[in-house]
A and B are shown apart, each in its own frame.
Chain A
Amino acid sequence: MQEDNVNNESCTCNCNKKDEFLEGLLNTYKPIKDNLIQMLNEVQEHYGYVPQYVQKELSEFLNIPLAEIYGVITFYSRFTLKPKGKYAISVCLGTACFVKGSRKIMDRLTEKLGIGPGETTADGKFSIDETRCVGACGLAPVFTVNGEVYGKATVQKLDEVLDELMNK
């Protein structure tokens, strides 16, 4: 479960409320309830999370109570209420990767960054996610950094990648 977003009033992505993207989004879709998930997908894609002010806009636009929108956001793992890190690291925990030891990669990652899956480091640099199958089973175990796939992963390889990113 994601944390409550009541105190998440200030937006961290430096956007102006009702920015160009949001205006465009509201113009593209018809105000029909069915469009909620599609719109949320675009919002998540654009901002990297679903800011609270956007939830409010959607609530008014689609005439859906804010609580219901919150319910939908927290139901689907793709939607998040907090921004992801500059380097979003996902470890595949699909069965093929699990059998090849991806749990060890995840353990090492959480140990090194001091945060758990679904969390972002205080400096906003890293976030960790669990994914279920990125489809590169031939390269198992894999982890991804901002979508780029690192295959045949080992703890050493992860350490190297992390060291490089930490110094960036």
Chain B
Amino acid sequence: MKTIDEIHEIRIQKRKELELRINTNADTREKHILVCHGTGCTSSKSPQILENFRRIIEEKGLENVRVIKTGCFGLCAKGPIVIIRPEDTFYAMVTPEDCEEIIQTHIIEGNRVERLLCKDIDGTKVNSLDELTFYKKQKRIALKNCGVINPENIDEYLAFDGYLALEKVLKEMTAEQVIETITKSGLRGRGGAGFPTGKKWELTKASQDSQKYVVCNADEGDPGAFMDRSILEGDPHSVLEAMEIAGYTIGANKGFIYVRAEYPIAVKRLQTAINQARDYGILGENIFGTGFNFDIEIRLGAGAFVCGEETALLESIEGKRGQPRVKPPYPAQSGLWGKPTLINNVETYANIAQIILKGADWYSSIGTENSKGTKVFALGGNVNNIGLVEVPMGTTLREIVYDIGGGIPNGRDFKAAQTGGPSGGCIPKEHLDTPIDYESLKEIGSMMGSGGLIVMDDTKCMVSLAKFYLEFTVSESCGKCTPCRIGTKRMLELLEKLCAGKGSEEDIDKLEKLASNIRKASVCGLGQSAPNPVISTLKYFRKEFEEHAIDKQCRALECKAMAKIKIDPEKCKGCGLCQKHCPVNAIEGEAREKRIINQEKCIKCGTCLTNCPFHAIGN
């Protein structure tokens, strides 16, 4: 247990010590080597890099050098990332073998290791993180501490105004004032639907009951999205602090974080954060001596996408199958064990402390008219700078894909971007200049979603993509309501038919009809939004659907069944290698003659293609 004065003291001391993390001109002889420990970098051996640095420093008996484990820096495509402060040198794709050289050349001799410096998209080497185009258009609020602090050390969180917002709320603000601030800030739910956060808090506060709960939805199920996980891994205390503020505001003393068991690092760091906060008396009873009690427990999800739906999540916390409840009543009236419950998503919580400290006006000055603040996106797919980005609302898709994302690799063209995952839609080239906010994305047939943003180049088949998302919803449908359980399955069958070259125009009409019925008749958000990927691809890429249905052609050559493998008679030298390797004897022709593929026998395995020494075989 620490007294409030002791916590103030830690904050001041630690802040001085860590000045070099955010100030390149910090007056210090110390050097901090920050090693990214987000999931991406951890997968490519960053723990070993950390270990090597520590070992070498000890062996050489170096002083004034510290090696620190941090959360995600964002530029996952360049991982594993090592940053040296205060000079802010950015080393990319570091291997455990590079540690020796970095210590010798950079730390001891004071020169940069040129070959490891991160290259910008135009190939120029950059000296520091701020010079990278990737970071220039970003604004970090929710990710403020990610990559700056050690997420497993509460003192480092305290150093950067950690738990100051909680102190302010408990000591100086009434619940009404907190709600007013959050409402005025314009913050909306970052889970995807965009419900005004202040309103949600107000509704839950208004419900009269002796027991209420605060829940954090960390069941990030959208395939290809990893924003929430990065926040939990890089700055877990920001979520705890916001949940406590929420508890004080709505009158709850108990919180639950529902997090995917597939996120072992996030779970571990959250538990560490909870334990540390309890030790300091920031979580538990009589917090900061104000008489306010609040505790938080972790609940593990077990791999069901539907549990991201708030009422399904509540069922799962109660130990049951995660099937959604019929709304109303909403969780604000009857949630966990029938008690009023406030549920917000991780990123929403990560904004709260900043809003309390810097004020509603500051927050609402960022963004567009109806969507305030910033949004974190997990940028992935066919784009150069794969990673985590946080941009002010109103930034255009073009800026994200081309400026921050560095464009499309291999000189290909942009075809579409997908936001909102299995519940969202595709945005084609003609809408690249749409400013990103809740309303404008909805208008063009997609949605904000939780933040997955997948870029696709012109080699992608949109019918296959629609099929991919339907496969996902079919396997994740909980089975409670018929439109979703059976309807999505029927839609998938139609798409499979189209991709197999056995579809007709009528199937496209059927798809549309089913989509509109499932949208209207499903119980929960999963079912209601399941047809979105089909509706939006049909809207913008109908021609491709028709080509599949009528011409039996897949222009992207992704649908194998329709691919016709041919031998170019100009290039064929009659060597017969293709014939020798064909597993089904589909290649005809005599020795030293040009060969022909019997399309009826061909199974499109592509073996001939890889064995032809003259590149004479193609689609």
Contacts and interface: CB of A to CB of B under 8 A. Distances in A.
Interface of A: 33-38, 40-41, 44, 71-72, 75-79, 93-100, 131-140, 142, 149, 151
Interface of B: 38-40, 43-44, 76-79, 221-226, 229, 261-263, 299-305, 316-322, 378, 380-382, 386-387, 418, 421, 452, 454-456, 460, 468, 472, 478
A38 B43 CA distance: 26
A12 B322 CA distance: 30
A76 B321 CA distance: 8
Given A95-B418, A133-B223, A75 B229 contact: no
Contacts of B380: 95-96, 99, 137, 140
A76 B460 CA distance: 31
Nearest to B78: A138
A30 to B, nearest CB: 12
Main secondary structure of the interface of A (DSSP, over half): helix
Contact of B226 (A34, A98, A137): A137
Contacts of B452: 95
A99 B456 contact: yes
26 contacts: A37-B302, A75-B321, A76-B303, A76-B322, A77-B303, A95-B224, A95-B421, A96-B380, A98-B224, A99-B382, A99-B454, A99-B455, A132-B305, A133-B225, A134-B39, A134-B262, A136-B40, A136-B44, A137-B226, A137-B378, A138-B76, A138-B386, A140-B380, A140-B381, A149-B43, A149-B44
Contacts of B318: 33-34
A94 B229 CA distance: 15
A94 B418 CA distance: 13
Contacts of B382: 99-100
Nearest to A75: B321
Nearest to B336: A34
A78 B303 contact: yes
Contacts of A134: 39, 43, 262
B306 to A, nearest CB: 9
Contacts of B261: 41, 78
A40 B77 contact: no
A36 B319 contact: yes
A151 B316 contact: no
**Sorted from nearest, which 8 A-B pairs have the closest CB atoms?**
A138-B76, A96-B380, A94-B223, A95-B224, A76-B302, A135-B39, A149-B43, A77-B303
Given A78-B303, A94-B223, A94-B224, A137 B76 contact: yes
A97 B223 CA distance: 9
A34 B225 contact: no
Nearest to B77: A138
A72 B303 CA distance: 12
Contacts of A139: 40, 43-44, 76, 79
Contact of B44 (A37, A40, A151): A151
Nearest to A40: B302
Given A40-B302, A96-B386, A133-B223, 13 more contacts: A36-B320, A38-B299, A77-B302, A77-B304, A78-B302, A95-B224, A96-B378, A131-B262, A132-B221, A132-B223, A135-B43, A139-B44, A139-B79
Contacts of A131: 262
Contacts of A36: 319-320
B478 A75 contact: yes
Specify which of A94, A133, A149 lies most central, judged by the most chain B CB atoms within 10 Å of its CB: A133
A134 B40 CA distance: 9
Contacts of B225: 133
